[in-house]
């Protein structure tokens, strides 16, 4: 694991999930202080191969149909508790219009309007965020918000949204950061 020295969760590299190279990259200023939690509205996944297949399909759809430079989400989290690298810590994603250049987008693989995220996935997300702080990619005073707080969407789904609202760095009132 590339980030193993910082006690990060298992992060599956782009090479390991057989991702395409980005067409272009934009660097993020670091550290960023905003983590936006989303869901992919795809089937959930529980196996390495199943999760990698969904991540590849998301990337192909976003690059081919939406003309994204890369997969939009900074990181994606499978039900297997593994984190799949998108643009990662260094590059801006395309996950939340108006916020891509100042945040990290973390997408849980699945539809969490109906499904409950797995304990493994929730723990991986928390460990990823701690890892980002430890590595200096996230500010120590970061905030976590749900995708729906910033744009008109149901993401990250009702069940995941209710879960992240209990996290210690949750930001309920987003008026100070809203574009």
- Give the pLDDT of the chain (179 residues) as one tens digit per residue: 344 445 789 999 999 999 999 999 999 999 999 999 999 999 999 999 999 999 999 999 999 999 999 999 999 999 999 999 999 999 999 999 988 899 999 999 999 998 999 999 999 999 999 999 999 999 999 999 999 999 999 999 999 999 999 999 999 999 988 87
Q: Which residues have C-beta within 8 Å of that of residue 59, sequence separation ≥ 6?
A: 19, 20, 70, 71, 86
For residue 95, tell me if it sits in a domain: yes
Asked whether 110 and 40 are in contact (CB, 8 A), the reply is yes
Note down the domain range covering 63: 26-164
CA distance 159 to 121: 13
Q: Using CA atoms of 157, 162, 166, 169 in order, give the dihedral in degrees to the nearest 10.
A: 30
Q: Half-sphere exposure of 51 toward its Cβ, with a 13 Å CA cutoff?
A: 25
Q: Prior bond to 30 cis, omega within 30?
A: no
CATH of the domain at 52: 3.40.80.10
Domains: count for the chain? 1
pLDDT at 57 (0 to 100)? 98
């Amino acid at each position: 694991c590339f980030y193993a020295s910082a006690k990060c969760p298992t992060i599956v590299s782009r090479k390991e999930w057989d991702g395409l190279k980005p067409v272009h990259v934009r660097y993020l200023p670091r550290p960023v202080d905003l983590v936006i939690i989303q869901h992919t509205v795809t089937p959930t996944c529980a196996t390495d191969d199943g999760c990698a297949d969904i991540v590849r399909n998301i990337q192909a759809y976003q690059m081919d149909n939406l003309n994204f430079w890369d997969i939009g989400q900074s990181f994606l989290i499978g039900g297997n508790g593994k984190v799949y690298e998108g643009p990662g810590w260094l590059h801006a994603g395309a996950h939340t219009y108006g916020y891509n250049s100042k945040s990290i987008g973390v997408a849980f693989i699945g539809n969490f309007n109906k499904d409950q995220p797995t304990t493994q996935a929730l723990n991986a997300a928390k460990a990823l965020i701690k890892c980002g702080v430890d590595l200096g990619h996230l500010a120590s005073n970061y905030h976590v918000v749900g995708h729906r707080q910033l744009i008109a969407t149901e993401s990250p789904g009702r069940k995941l949204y209710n879960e992240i609202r209990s996290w210690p760095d949750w930001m309920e009132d987003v008026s100070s950061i809203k574009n």
